[in-house]
Structure formats: C-alpha cells, structure tokens
Chains A and B, each alone.
Chain A
Amino acid sequence: RKEVEQDPGPFNVPEGATVAFNCTYSNSASQSFFWYRQDCRKEPKLLMSVYSSGNEDGRFTAQLNRASQYISLLIRDSKLSDSATYLCVVNGDDKIIFGKGTRLHILP
C-alpha cells in the first residue's frame, strides 16, 4: 500500500454541486494532516489543517478517520474558483508525505 493515496481525478463537477475527496494513509502513527490546493504553475496554498474532531471553514469541511486511516475534504456549493489540484499532506516519524493530488474542474 502506498504511503499516501489520492484519486487523481479529474473530478468534473457542475458549479453549485457538492464534491468530496478522500486521502488514505498507511502509517497508523501519522500525527498531522493537511489539505492544500495548488493552482496550475503556482505554489501549494494551505487550505485546512485536519483535526481529530473534524473542522469546517465556510464551504469546506475536513474530517479525519483514524480507524480507517483516511482524511476527507468536502466542498459545498462549489465555485468556478475552486478548480485546482487538492493535495493531502500526512506527516509523522520525521516524514512529510504529499499525496499525488486530486484535480477538480468546476464546470459553469
């Protein structure tokens, strides 16, 4: 099993829809979890940290499921500007591991 896995997509979603991605990780000792978004030819930008209790920031909700070893990102009422690649980041044991990213296209 790969250390961090994401569905590469692309997810083609109409504007206003809800979309969810998962990211699975193999190391049960992983300690910190993050979602970043990256636009084409730009740097990754932190979207959310993922806390054990789950957290929400506007239209975005992140969840952590330690038992099944995955994190999720839910985007409600998607906007055209949400089109990007979403990277999950998992770290622990002195390792920082990026998933390969999930590409999201919001369609007008």
Chain B
Amino acid sequence: DTEVTQTPKHLVMGMTNKKSLKCEQHMGHRAMYWYKQKAKKPPELMFVYSYEKLSINESVPSRFSPECPNSSLLNLHLHALQPEDSALYLCASSQETGVAGWNEQFFGPGTRLTVL
C-alpha cells in the first residue's frame, strides 16, 4: 500500500468555523508533513512530524494546529481562518527525515479549502 489518503477532498468554511483535515498512511513511514499550495505556486512546508513529535513548524499562524495521534495519522485543526488561507492543503509522508538527507516524500491528493 503506497497511498496517502486525505479527507475531506473539498472543504468550505466560514471564518468563525472550526474544522479538521485528516491524513492517513499505512506505509510504516515515520515522518509526516503538512504543506499549503496556492494556485500556480510550489508547495510551502508548514509542519513536519518525526516519530510522532513535531520537529519543524515553519512559523505557521496559531490558527493552524497540527496533531499526530499515532504513526499513521496526521490532523490539521483549523480555527478562525482568513480568506487568504484558501488553498490546497497537502499531506505527505516519508520513511523518516533522516540525518543523511531527506527521504522521498509521497503526497496525498490534498484537501481543497475555501474560506469565506
């Protein structure tokens, strides 16, 4: 199973809503990532979890709150978002982050988020 799954595929939310994005992988990978991608731009790294611990937070606003309940699951909790947060949110996983360089990352299909 070489698949990363994400739910929901699409999400529309108001600025006062609280919602969560979910990501799951069953490849035994120990590193998981959240990215944000705007149209015609490359993915921007948000968070990295390594062995279920947050290892990198790329100065992401606190209205985005990641959670790693176990080695297969990664959530992104959303609260009080702004319209400019509308984007494709991609989850990825890799075997581990590694000290000799990063391993290949496998991406989920993403959640297309619209904030009204």
Contact = CB atoms under 8 A, between A and B. Distances in A.
B105 A31 contact: no
Nearest to A6: B42
Interface size class of B (residues with CB under 8 A): 20 to 34
Interface in B24-49: 33, 41-45, 48
B104 A99 contact: no
Contacts, number: 42
Q: Is the interface of B mostly helix, strand, loop or mixed?
A: loop
Given A87-B42, A100-B41, A43 B108 contact: yes
Contacts of A32: 101-103
B53 to A, nearest CB: 14
A92 B100 CA distance: 8
Interface in A72-102: 87, 89, 91-92, 94, 96, 98-101
Interface of A: 31-32, 34, 41-46, 49, 87, 89, 91-92, 94, 96, 98-101
